[in-house]
A and B are shown apart, each in its own frame.
Chain A
């Protein structure tokens, strides 16, 4: 089954404790992206990747890191999480950056 797999689904952590949210897709998509979704603000792009070893900042990259060492994986790293990073996070992928996006099931992150 074609899918984007995100883990974990829920995560509660404390300020400053490094964490990684994993994202993997099995559709051989070139493009992958991370979004955060906050009430009233919609989906905002954090980082995106057009291909392996190619990543670029989105609209809200501060406090986040990503890497794209393999085509299928695009982990999101929070080196020192803060409470303002409490949000619902989605990973998404597509064949090209301007085509239909396939979303993962989301990660609800709470930073205390």
Chain B
């Protein structure tokens, strides 16, 4: 089992829909959870972080953490074509580990 696992996609959603990106992890001692967005040919940039169980909202983005089930998800409401990118989850336990990323495509 990979330490941090994401569906590679591509995930395709129509403009205005909700995009749901998921990430599972194996280290139960993980403390910090991050979502990075990476546009094609660019470097990753942090868009959300969450430390506690539950939901954290920031604009159109919501991060959800369930430590008991060992998953973290990112919801993007009212998806826009500009949201088309690869989304990387990163989990901080003893070290920071990145998932392989999920490619999201938002169709106009």
Interface majority SS (helix, strand, loop, mixed), chain B: strand
Interface majority SS (helix, strand, loop, mixed), chain A: loop
Q: Is there an interface contact between A42 and B99, defined as CB atoms closer than 8 Å? A: yes
Bound form: Cα–Cα A106–B46 in Å? 16
For chain A, the count of residues having a C-beta within 8 Å of the partner chain is 17
Bound form: Cα–Cα A90–B42 in Å? 10
Interface centre among A41, A44, A101 (most CB of B within 10 A): A101
Of the four ranges (under 10, 10 to 19, 20 to 34, 35 or more), the interface on chain B belongs to 20 to 34
Q: Are A98 and B88 also in contact (CB < 8 A) when A42-B101, A43-B44, A103-B45 are?
A: no
Bound form: Cα–Cα A104–B44 in Å? 9
Chain B interface (Cβ < 8 Å from any Cβ of A): 4, 8, 31-32, 34, 36, 42-46, 49, 88, 90, 92, 95-96, 98-101
Chain A interface (Cβ < 8 Å from any Cβ of B): 35, 40-45, 58, 90, 97-98, 100-101, 103-106
